[in-house]
Chain A
Amino acid sequence: MTQQTLEHWQQMYRSLWRIRIFESQVQRLAAAGEVPGFPHLSTGQEAVAVGVCAHLNPSDVLYTSHRGHGHILAKGSDIEATMAEIIGRDTGLCRGRGGSMHLVDAANGVLGATGVVAGNLALAAGAAWAAQAQGKSDISVVFFGDGATGAGVFHETLNLAALWKLPILFVCENNGYAEFTSREEHSNVNHVSAFAAPYHIPTKTIDGNDLRVVHAEAGAAIAGIRAGQGPYLLECMTFRMAGHYVGDAQQYRSKEEMAAMLEKCPIERLKRHLLESGIDAAELDAIQNDATQEVLAASDRARAAPRPDPASVMDDVYTSPALHAITG
């Protein structure tokens, strides 16, 4: 491994841990009653976020689902501002108006998460259309779960993206569950990639828990999109180690299933590979510790930040301040 590749993988390893620790912290804070609402964790799915976002520039547009913390951090949004939003602080990305399911960091190209499954797939296509219309080389990426394929707008958007040859990457994180129901129970179509064929959208189903695979395949797909080849659908098979939401007891899953998932943990797998490549275990532990300290310090700063001023509750309903006082 060259020094450059080594540093590259160390950086990715750090990104995986950042997300894992961040979400563990969200889980802890939620248990302590510090997180309003119901956050959804992507624990176990981190390799998809890190492998895809490694290829994105700040001006590329990212949309994500209700399970989006990892994607947003992987694209480089500020850890403290992201956490501050999830716990509802004035310093949060959205000044406490969005929360976990509506994270937006426009300056970093994160146009946002959504609380409606499949609700922003077409918005992502709109960002791709805008880039195309403005002659920019930016692309749009949208992450969604396999559950989103049950929505009509998923199929409408694939059709439009193919028809207009839009620069968009559809990334399906197929974790086998739509909320609490397994894929087998909600569709006869085993692989989401099968939906790409009728629209002539190139596609691949890959092991989404192997960061090296995700990184390579996302890189190739994105290169094609930037070269003007139109949309691509990347289906990443992965596992949701946490429940649907924080607090989900997951009684619908067997002990065997849970144990098999731990075996496939994307962080452990990259770690094994790096150790086999000759990287020192102590070095990897140091990266994990650094990431832990970084996230916990950011979390502490977020928790110390002021809460939003109730007097500002009518701000930003409209762009024009003159419209803020509308009562009907």
Chain B
Amino acid sequence: MAVHTFINILKRALDEEMSHDSAVHLLGEDVAAGGAFGVTRGLVDKYGDHRVKNTPISEAAITGLATGAALAGLKPVLEIMFIDFATLALDCLLNQTAKYRYMSGGQVTLPLVVRTQAGAAGGAAAQHSQSLETFFIHIPGLIVVAPSSPVEAYGLLKSAIRYGEPVLFIEHKRLYTMKEDLPDDYTLPTIGQARVAREGSDITIIAYSAMVQTALEAAQTLADQGISAEVLDLRTLLPLDMATIAQSVSKTHRVLIAQEAVLNGGVAAEIAARIGSELFDELDGPVERVGCPFAPIPFAPELERALLPGKDDILRAVHRMVGHA
């Protein structure tokens, strides 16, 4: 068993997959130097600058380049430094990458992983802090993964690279320094399967990415107050694992969905709608959501803290729903 930070374990996953499969190539802005956060540091020394490619600041072109390379036999892992900049790549991801297999009538496969980094932390402000996953779960043909811890990131990244579909892999910057043990007998997760991060019986808190850690902290406090909260880690936002959600809801009959993104039209809205139509009879009350108020992410630490949804928001919602505090 070894302890890893999120950043180091991502590098380990990339290293292992590059060593395992010569079709895997890395590209992105500054990746040869390690990227903005050091995830790819040192890989250029091991694999050479023909497999770890620095690119210009041209998100549209490098996403197209990675897509075209995937169609021609490579398995590129593209880094888009901040998800906020993925908007510059959106034409390609939406109109080309996601649709290529379908538009061609199944003639091609597109094994591509786009790693990107999202979420608010440390005053990165309005253009470097967003949670934009909602844009991408609206696109047929994409897979969207959002890991919640170092070990989860390790397994899900390796599985994503082997998966053979275009995958958007969203890392949360707040998790980058988190440390976790990688068990010796670790087995890779299956893309599309959620996991029960903590078992409970009174309420289900559904979360993903860094919000899973927040939900686990809240569940610990709730346990001290005599409320047993089950925490579901979605892992994959597209597709949604409705089977695992149904299992949990059938046990707890109450659902709170927590996300860092603004609520309008979001992941939580989608899950709430589906629970409403598929699991209505299991519910003891309305599905509730916790998310970001409808504003851009501010800069000053006091403002950032004031806006972002956190443990207290989850506790308040649970107390309201379960009926006692």
Contact = CB atoms under 8 A, between A and B. Distances in A.
* Chain A interface mostly: mixed
A13 interface: no
B105 A160 contact: no
Given A123-B68, A318-B141, A97 B103 contact: yes
Contacts of A130: 68-69, 72-74
Contacts of B96: 114, 116, 119-120, 123
B112 to A, nearest CB: 10
Contacts of B270: 328
Interface stretch (B33-41, B54-62, B180-188): B54-62
B324 interface: no
Given A61-B72, A111-B71, A126-B72, A102 B104 contact: yes
B128 interface: no
A163 B57 CA distance: 13
Contacts, number: 168
Contacts of A29: none
Contacts of A63: 68
A311 interface: no
Interface string A23-41: 0000000000000000000
B314 to A, nearest CB: 24
Q: By CB atoms of chain A within 10 A, which of B53, B63, B65 has the most? A: B65
Contact of A316 (B25, B91, B106): B106
Contact of A160 (B62, B137, B240): B62
B185 to A, nearest CB: 26
Interface residues of B, number: 48
B58 A159 contact: yes
A120 B100 CA distance: 11
B102 interface: yes
A47 interface: no
B316 interface: no
Given A316-B102, A328-B274, A122 B108 contact: no
B133 interface: no
Given A156-B56, A317-B141, A320-B165, A125 B68 contact: yes
A12 interface: no
A127 interface: yes
Contacts of B51: 133
A3 interface: no
B101 interface: yes
Contacts of B238: 326, 328
B239 interface: yes
Contact of B101 (A93, A131, A134, A316): A316
Given A116-B91, A120-B64, A160-B55, A94 B105 contact: yes
Interface of A: 61, 63, 92-98, 102, 104-107, 111-112, 114-116, 119-131, 133-134, 140, 152-153, 156-157, 159-160, 163-164, 315-320, 322-323, 326-328
**A-B interface, 7 closest residue pairs, ranked by CB to CB distance from nearest:** A126-B68, A122-B64, A123-B68, A95-B105, A156-B61, A130-B72, A316-B106
